[in-house]
Amino acid sequence: MRMKPIQDPLPVLPFTRPLRNPRVCVPGSKSISNRALLLASLTSRSVRLEGLLRSEDVHWMLECLRNLGVRIDEIASDAVVVHGCGGVFPSKQADLQVGTAGTVARLLVGVLGTQPSGRFRVDGSEAMRKRPMAGILDFLAASGSTVRFEGKPGHLPVVIEPTGIQGGKYTVDASESSQILSGILMAGALAQDPLVVELQGDTVSHPFISMTLRMMEAFGASELRAFTDPTSFAISEPEGYHFKRDHYRIERDATAASYFILLPLVVGGSLRVADFLRNGLQGDAAFADVAEQVGGMTHMVNTGTSHDLEVAFPHSLQHPVSIDFNPISDTFLTLAAVAPLLRRPVLLTGIAHTRKQESDRVRAMATELRKLGQTIEESEDSLRVVPNLPNLLEAARTGVSIDTYRDHRVAMSFAILGCRDLLENGQPWMEIRDPGCCAKTFPGFFSVLDSLRESTIADLQ
């Protein structure tokens, strides 16, 4: 996906006035967009997907599906029509590139194993080659596919020669990524016979498993149930996907919303996040509760055509807090980056698995926060930030350059902190290196931030 070049490094221009309750629209969810594209391609009809995210990750899913022979028509900036192939891809051989998109790699690889025949090579970026794939590739090998590694076992690049997924009981290790289990479950609806998947240990990010199950049901998978733990899943009648409608609406990205939920804490005032679903498919909507734990007030506003989340921070944090981010781990960076402004220690736990994502996110946040003069206690599964405002001000006076590790969430999280006018002169004190990495999930992030900043000035003119 080609984006307009962005200044690198990018100075973050602070807000000099508080927000005056603007309405901010974030794009569609990456996780839902990629699941919807794949599920729509497996149906036997044409499906219009609305609210589709346009980003690097979604670009790779679109490219992979097209290389597999799926016809996808572009009909609007945020909409496509996917012409389903009934679970069997027209192309029997393909060389598939997934870039840095773990969602694409794991979900698509699972479905490749359901094909009755073929030869498919899957590869990704250098960073993606380091990310764990063993759980889903082991499942494919156990269920009948031939799996050959061209490099390190359990990682990309890999060649898959499928013969369809045999039914039966499978034990799966999805401890390193919930996407492994999601990919297996999506493939399971196309298995040749009933299927039971039992987890070895636990998985992370249960809300993403719930998202997968609910979307599979929406696209017509039958007789799918999770047992009570949930450590076991059964598909008793794997008959593919039989979507009953001709369109599907993708929710706005709750993870992207998290950055703007904390913006009023940083710059003052209030804002509204458009079309926010607290009880939708995305577990990261629970970040609204995190905001309340650190002094925020949130409430839903019914506009008649949508439901918006209004956020303000009338209170400062009065006591230390400890928050388990395991279910919503993509958002721990959002809070960690602004923790220097909270004045009380913050303990973020349940984040060990984020060390194997786009970057070692725990280490990345610890390193950059120390640049800001903060006291950091780092363990394998946690990060404790002891705020030091005088040190933050001293760092601002000399200027801070944030390394992003080619990780979009590091870039966006620290950019929110950079909106604080610490020098009280409206001049940038922080710059973000490689800001273009945000194109992975939110290409327009800095443009949205600029528009919000400009609205604080325009409202007073």
- Specify whether 114 is located in the same domain as 261: no
Structure tokens at 213: 């199950």
- Specify whether 223 is located in the same domain as 234: yes
Distance from C-alpha of 79 to C-alpha of 353, rounded to nearest angstrom: 33
- Specify whether 228 is located in the same domain as 173: yes
What are the two backbone dihedrals, phi and then psi, of residue 199, each rounded to the nearest 5 degrees? -80, 135
How confident is residue 430, by pLDDT bands cut at 50, 70 and 90? very high
- Specify whether 266 is located in the same domain as 224: no
How confident is residue 1, by pLDDT bands cut at 50, 70 and 90? very low
* The pairing of beta strand 269-273 with beta strand 19-24: parallel
Q: Does residue 3 lie within any of the structural domains?
A: no
Structure tokens at 411: 């870039």
Q: What is the pLDDT of residue 224?
A: 74
Q: Does residue 191 lie within any of the structural domains?
A: yes
Cβ partners under 8 Å of residue 135, min gap 6: 172, 173, 174, 175, 176, 177, 180, 181, 184
- Specify whether 226 is located in the same domain as 261: no
**Could you tell me where the DSSP H helices lie in 189-347?**
206-218, 254-261, 263-267, 287-293, 332-338
Average pLDDT over residues 114-121: 98
Q: What is the pLDDT of residue 153?
A: 96
Q: Does residue 1 lie within any of the structural domains?
A: no
Q: What is the pLDDT of residue 29?
A: 98
Distance from C-alpha of 40 to C-alpha of 60, rounded to nearest angstrom: 16
Q: Does residue 319 lie within any of the structural domains?
A: yes
For the chain, counts of helices (H) and of strands (E): 15, 23
Distance from C-alpha of 103 to C-alpha of 100, rounded to nearest angstrom: 9
User: For residue 421, what is the domain's CATH number?
Assistant: 3.65.10.10
pLDDT in tens, 33-77: 999 999 999 999 999 999 999 999 999 999 999 999 999 999 999
- Specify whether 45 is located in the same domain as 160: yes
What Rg, from alpha-carbon coordinates, does the chain have?
22
Distance from C-alpha of 27 to C-alpha of 254, rounded to nearest angstrom: 9
- Specify whether 175 is located in the same domain as 213: yes
- Specify whether 187 is located in the same domain as 311: no
Structure tokens at 114: 């359901």
Q: Does residue 5 lie within any of the structural domains?
A: no
How confident is residue 147, by pLDDT bands cut at 50, 70 and 90? very high
> Helix or strand or coil: residue 44?
coil
At which of 184, 214, 249 does a domain end? Answer: 249
Q: Does residue 69 lie within any of the structural domains?
A: yes
- Specify whether 233 is located in the same domain as 294: no
Q: Does residue 143 lie within any of the structural domains?
A: yes
Q: Residue 297 CA to chain centroid, in angstroms?
A: 25
At which of 249, 271, 297 does a domain end? Answer: 249
Average pLDDT over residues 399-428: 98
- Specify whether 23 is located in the same domain as 97: no
- Specify whether 214 is located in the same domain as 83: yes
Q: Does residue 4 lie within any of the structural domains?
A: no
Q: How far is CA 367 from CA 76, 354, 433, in A?
A: 41, 15, 14
pLDDT in tens, 56-67: 999 999 999 999
CB 320, CB 345: distance < 8 Å: yes
Catalytic residues: 330
Distance from C-alpha of 161 to C-alpha of 164, rounded to nearest angstrom: 9
In which domain, by residue range, is 308 found?
10-27+253-458
- Specify whether 68 is located in the same domain as 197: yes
How confident is residue 203, by pLDDT bands cut at 50, 70 and 90? low
Count of the separate structural domains present in the chain: 2
Q: Which residue has the higher pLDDT, 272 or 207?
A: 272
At which of 249, 270, 289 does a domain end? Answer: 249
